[in-house]
A and B are shown apart, each in its own frame.
Chain A
Amino acid sequence: MKMPMMKQLTAALILCFLLINMACAGMNPQEILIASDAVRNPDFPFGLTNTLIEYRNGKQTESSTLAIYSKADPNGGQFRSLIRYVAPARDANKLILFSGKDMWFFDPSSKASIRLSPQQRLLGQASNGDVVTVNFAKDYQATTTTEEDSTDGERQPRHCYKLGLVATSPDATYHHIEMWVDTSNTRPVKARFYTESNKLLKTAYYRRYQKVFGIERPTETVIIDGLESDWVTVMRYTEWVRREVPEAWLQRDYLPRFKPE
């Protein structure tokens, strides 16, 4: 009795796999990009803890913990993020507000609210654009797609769509991006970020997929600097919570009062 049931189960799984592939096969590059964004980011306001560890020449050089709150702009759809430093102790309780290129830093000790340019990185090593929540489909257009085999962050072979993304918004951090997306489930596998002169700035691997808010999402990003390949930043996401905050909180004047928890 078990054999026929096993065969039926196997057939059902194969059918599901084929259906998913057919669905993906029918998607244009931008739709694939949107689908991969949906894997990385929930479509509702949320908070999480981001633990960053930085390595140089194979040795750990810095570690920090950020409490991050993200909410999509109801008009443009791109995320705004409020970030509070939890650790190290010297930076504890400092805050950064990201809303496109409108970025503000607040120091609770000096009560200073300082406008940041995107090039500034007042705290830590990770680029501002790396720690905030981003929907690539809002700032980039996927113009090309090919299929190729690649290796994911767990060193597993994946058959991927290779997307070419071009910045379409002035808020975009990078000029263009190459992104590999698993053809079977639209999971982002890795991405390479470039300047206008086609210089590789960094490579990111999305890994440690775990069930978060009902679907499998990457809970770790490994960033490899394009110029100094021994400069590695590991960002691990934990303590995901669904949280709604008023729109009025996402502005400079509210920064002194923000507490993610």
Chain B
Amino acid sequence: MMSLLWQRRASAVLAYLVALGLWYPSPGLCADPDESALMLADSALAVAENASDLRAFAEGEYAGATQRDSNASSYGRRLSFDVQYDHSFSPVWRAVFADRLDANWPKKGSDQNAINTIKEAYLSWRAQPDTILDLGRINVRNGVAIGYNPTDFFRAGALRSVVSISPASLKENRQGSVMVRFQQLWVGGGMTGMYSPRLSNHPSQDAFNPDWGATNNQERWLISVSQKFTDNINPQFLIYQEGHLPLQFGLNLTALTNDATVVYAEWAGGRSPSLLTQAFQQTAPAIPGDTAFYNRLASGITYTTPNKISLTAELQYNGRGMGKEEWDALRHGPLVVYSLYRSWAQLAQDMPTRKMVFFYATWQDALVNHLDLSAMRSADIVDSSQRSWLEVRYHIGHFDYAVQWQRNSGLRFSNFGAVSQMQSWQASLRYYF
């Protein structure tokens, strides 16, 4: 009875204070969650930020690795600057520029610490609302698969500086090819055509060299057509030619099987020399080819759980790569031939062996807000070698904090067993301006 009386007196005092504006109940004190939420909304300062044509970040990294042969540890540092600029200076004209500068200590693979990658630099003209023409250096990327992209025909020679093996990083930090590109859109579809001329025979590792020889050492063209047949089916067809090689064909297809699942398939095929013959032809162009029709395929499924975990499983097949017998023979043959083949496969960003399985998982806001986990595992079915990769990334405000770990395992000279670093880790800090 007395307790009830004091409660009533306390409530009356609080009401009096609120009426005078001397006190406002904290959201946490309200029993009704809707009322608490509305009180938060009352005090929300929702300031709309303005869109910017410029996006830039700086990133510092400290890394360590364990060498396979000697078990010795090595350490390194990296500083990177990345800028993207996309400006429309009239309703029909647009300029795009994207560049990345990486500086490594010790030097990585060249005699300079710095390496600059011009990712894109082009002008775009909208001749009609649905007709666009682009001219300059363009990073063209095709393909719906996550790990292996057989229809990503312009990927060869595009990587100047590899900072991470994550699929997104490999596609983001590469130089575009100089080309003219035309796009015609219609309701439900569109056609894109591009022509990339031959500009130079000689790639360069000089720090600020535009490196035309890496991306424009052959005449290339590509035509792609997309058409929506149903709400769920929207395939893309591609035709590509490089130099005097036969035409290559491609198909990209995705579909929703339910609200949580996407299935996809990416196929490329055509007559060409095998990957090994292509490697030999880099040093001895007159070598006769073993031209045949080869298929390349990446097919997978991505399932997303209600708590934001996405799981992808992908089968990868490269008909131009080596089967078990050929691969075993190459691994146990002359080192110079093996090195030539591996270098070419790396440059072409193609699988050296015929079959792999790829798993990829992401967990957004894993356990803690703003903490994202990513994991990847590649398993080579031909030689049983494996690669694992894990990233923990925490983002808050303008900062990203990330730690990556990678392990390569397998027999000597196997696909992943040949990587000189058995295990490595990287800790990075990124600031977005």
Residues of A within 8 A of B (CB): 49, 51, 53, 55-58, 61-63, 65, 67, 84, 86-90, 92-93, 99-102, 107-122, 125, 153, 155, 203, 205, 207, 220, 222, 224, 229-230, 232, 234, 236, 238-239, 245-249, 251-254, 257, 259-261
Using Cβ atoms and an 8 Å threshold, which residues of chain A touch B172? 107, 109-111
Contacting pair A236 B40 (CB below 8 A) = no
> What sequence of 0s and 1s flags, for each residue 130-173 of chain B, a beta carbon within 8 Å of any chain A beta carbon?
10100000011100100000000000000000000000110110
CB distance from B272 to the nearest CB of A (A): 25
Q: Is B106 an interface residue (CB 8 A)?
A: no
Residues of B within 8 A of A (CB): 26-28, 33-38, 40-41, 44-52, 55, 57, 84, 86, 88, 98, 124, 129-130, 132, 139-141, 144, 168-169, 171-172, 183, 185-190, 192, 226, 228, 231-232, 234, 254, 256, 258-262, 264, 302, 304-306, 308, 310, 364-365, 369-370, 395, 397-398, 400, 432-433
CB distance from B228 to the nearest CB of A (A): 7
Contacting pair B141 A112 (CB below 8 A) = yes
Using Cβ atoms and an 8 Å threshold, which residues of chain B touch A230? 33, 36
- If the complex has contacts A62-B370, A65-B48, A102-B231, are A108 and B84 also in contact, measured as CB distance less than 8 A? yes
Contacting pair A234 B41 (CB below 8 A) = yes
- If the complex has contacts A88-B432, A234-B46, are A252 and B226 also in contact, measured as CB distance less than 8 A? yes
Extra contacts, 11 of them, besides A110-B172, A246-B185 (Cβ < 8 A), are A51-B46, A51-B48, A58-B26, A88-B397, A92-B52, A100-B231, A118-B256, A248-B186, A254-B185, A257-B132, A260-B51
Q: How many A-B residue pairs have C-beta atoms within 8 angstroms? Tell me.
A: 186
The residue that A53 contacts in the complex, of B46, B132, B192, B370, with Cβ under 8 A, is: B46
**Residue on B with the closest CB to A223?**
B37
The residue that A246 contacts in the complex, of B124, B129, B189, with Cβ under 8 A, is: B129
Using Cβ atoms and an 8 Å threshold, which residues of chain B touch A86? 48-52
- If the complex has contacts A58-B27, A111-B171, are A220 and B41 also in contact, measured as CB distance less than 8 A? yes
- If the complex has contacts A86-B51, A153-B38, are A62 and B369 also in contact, measured as CB distance less than 8 A? yes
**Residue on B with the closest CB to A113?**
B144
Contacting pair B55 A92 (CB below 8 A) = yes
**Residue on A with the closest CB to B134?**
A257
- If the complex has contacts A62-B369, A90-B395, A121-B308, are A253 and B44 also in contact, measured as CB distance less than 8 A? no
Contacting pair A253 B226 (CB below 8 A) = yes
Contacting pair B55 A110 (CB below 8 A) = no
- If the complex has contacts A109-B84, A236-B44, are A117 and B261 also in contact, measured as CB distance less than 8 A? yes
Contacting pair B171 A251 (CB below 8 A) = no
Using Cβ atoms and an 8 Å threshold, which residues of chain A touch B395? 90
**Residue on B with the closest CB to A208?**
B41
Contacting pair A119 B141 (CB below 8 A) = no
